[in-house]
Amino acid sequence: MSNPESYDAVVIGSGEGGKYLAWHLAEAGRKVAVIERRWVGGSCPNVNCLPSKNEIWSAGVASTVAHAAEYGVVTGSVTVDMPKVLQRKRDMVDGLIAFHLGRYQATGAELIMGSARIAAPLTIEVALNDGGTRTLVAEKLFLNLGTHANVPPVPGLAEAKPLTNIELLELDRVPEHLIVLGGGYVGLEFAQAYRRFGSRVTVIEHGPRLAAREDPDVSEEIRRILEAEQIEMLLSTEVERVDGKSGAHVDVHVRTPDGARTIGASDLLVAAGRTPNTRGIGLDAAGVELDERGYIRVNGRLETTAANTWAIGECAGSPQFTHMSLDDFRVIRDNLAGGHRSTAGRMVPYCMFIDPPLARVGMNEAQAHAAGMAVRVAKLPTKAVLRTRTTAQSAGFMKALVDANDRIVGFTMIGSDAGEVMAVVQTAMAGKLPYTALRDAILTHPTMVEGLNALFGAVPAKAG
């Protein structure tokens, strides 16, 4: 073991919540180290959120150009230059890495590139990427370990070397036929993007519908939208075996409601959930307990079962969104300063960046019913919003849930600008405004947000 070095705070992992906490503590005069195995800034700016949305935007441009004639614009044939798409993404990532390195330098937080292992409570051994080891002893330890793509234990699947989001985002070619295992966020976003790049795409989902956490009407609308782009959907389908190698040829043997089938393709993407990066790094030596799924046990203050040790973001079981990891940082920051902030009851907004996008905040109908809550439901087709007459982007709908006290408890939208419209509703919910505030608000014409007038004007009257 190398000579121990003392730090006020050590953060393992440089993802969203961890890096902001490190920068904050360093700017307050603390001696802080961040240990990062590979991705400076975490997965979001390198291989997840921003790179995927970068390529999805390129795919959207390709789709817009392909349909330009519908808007009276005459173009030639559309060709996708995947090396250029890849380079655009890489240029963005390079800029983000430079930004992060600049923040480390400006704040004084030390970034250590290497693999961390906890040898004892608050004691971390680091195998440095460029050779050698260091031992850090922390007054406070923050675990920002993240997650990785889960590869299900299907015979032949691991041997087929399937793509995950990381490898897919490094492709410099358009797959001839891409099979996507998983009908959730990652799978559906990439399915549509690569269909628009020119791939034939098949989505295989073991459940009976896409985006299973949503209400059935939302799932069905997503399916309708994606099937309209000739994306093949196989629902209630189990993958029994995989033969071959992704990138050359794979045969995926499945059992559908109509019987057995073998699907041949050039490439295979696994988008079947995430697994926390908590195994094999010595958490047991620190007294940090895991739950039955491998996530770190924390309380509402994100404190672990070990003294002076906290967990942040996905590894702590927080919703798997960058903005939730950022809020984890705020919870810990405020409590370290003597506050009483908790993760309990947080309002979680999210978007699925298909086109048109899905956005939701608060409860859906199923959740409200499960909680025994009596809600009034209002629904408005997106085509009823006059803005869509100008854009011809009319797919989808808005839906709102209102409780007995006239408070908005949930909002879902699939449609153009859904994420921006949702933010308006979220603000009203955060301010505990009655739904009538949006019903009667003067909203700019013609915008998508204007549809909130009609949506909340359609809230049923209270019973009796």
Instruction: Report the Cα 275 to chain-centroid distance in Å.
Output: 14
> Which candidate in 148, 249, 340, 445 is catalytic?
445
Residue ranges with strand state E in 13-131: 32-36, 110-120, 123-128
How many helices, marked H, and strands, marked E, lie in the chain?
13, 20
In CATH terms, are 4-148+275-336 and 158-272 the same topology?
Answer: yes
Q: Is 445 among the catalytic positions?
A: yes
- 107 phi and psi, to 5 degrees? -85, -25
* Helix spans in 275-382 (H): 322-336, 365-370
> How buried is 372 (Cβ within 10 angstroms: 0-12 exposed, 13-18 middle, 19+ buried)?
exposed
- 165 phi and psi, to 5 degrees? -60, -30
Report the candidate in 103, 110, 102 with the shortest Cα–Cα distance to residue 31. Answer: 110
Q: What is the CATH code for 158-272?
A: 3.50.50.60
d(CA 412, CA 415): 10
Q: What kind and span of H or E run contains 233?
A: strand 232-234
Report the candidate in 14, 17, 34 with the shortest Cα–Cα distance to residue 140. Answer: 34
Phi-psi region of 441 (alpha: psi -120 to 50; beta: other; left: phi over 0): beta
Q: What share of the chain is helix, strand, coil (3-state, %, to 5)?
A: 35, 25, 40
Per-residue model confidence as pLDDT tens for the chain (464 residues): 679 999 999 999 999 999 999 999 999 999 999 999 999 999 999 999 999 999 999 999 999 999 999 999 999 888 999 999 999 999 999 999 999 999 999 999 999 999 999 999 999 999 999 999 999 999 999 999 999 999 999 999 999 999 999 999 999 999 999 999 999 999 999 999 999 999 999 999 999 999 999 999 999 999 999 999 999 999 999 999 999 999 999 999 999 999 999 999 999 999 999 999 999 999 999 999 999 999 999 999 999 999 999 999 999 999 999 999 999 999 999 999 999 999 999 999 999 999 999 999 999 999 999 999 999 999 999 999 999 999 999 999 999 999 999 999 999 999 999 999 999 999 999 999 999 999 999 999 999 999 999 999 999 999 86
d(CA 170, CA 40): 17
Other beta carbons within 10 Å of 73: 10
Rg (CA), the chain: 24
Q: What is the pLDDT of residue 463?
A: 81
Tell me, what DSSP letter sits at residue 277?
S
Architecture category of domain 4-148+275-336 in CATH: 3-Layer(bba) Sandwich (3.50)
Q: What is the pLDDT of residue 1?
A: 65
Q: Options 3.20.20.70, 3.30.390.30, 3.40.50.10890, 2.20.25.90; which CATH number does 356-457 get?
A: 3.30.390.30
Q: Would you mind telling me the total number of residues written for the chain in this entry?
A: 464
On whether the CB atoms of residues 400 and 317 are closer than 8 A, the answer is: no
Q: Where are the domains of the chain?
A: 4-148+275-336, 158-272, 356-457
Q: What kind and span of H or E run contains 71?
A: none
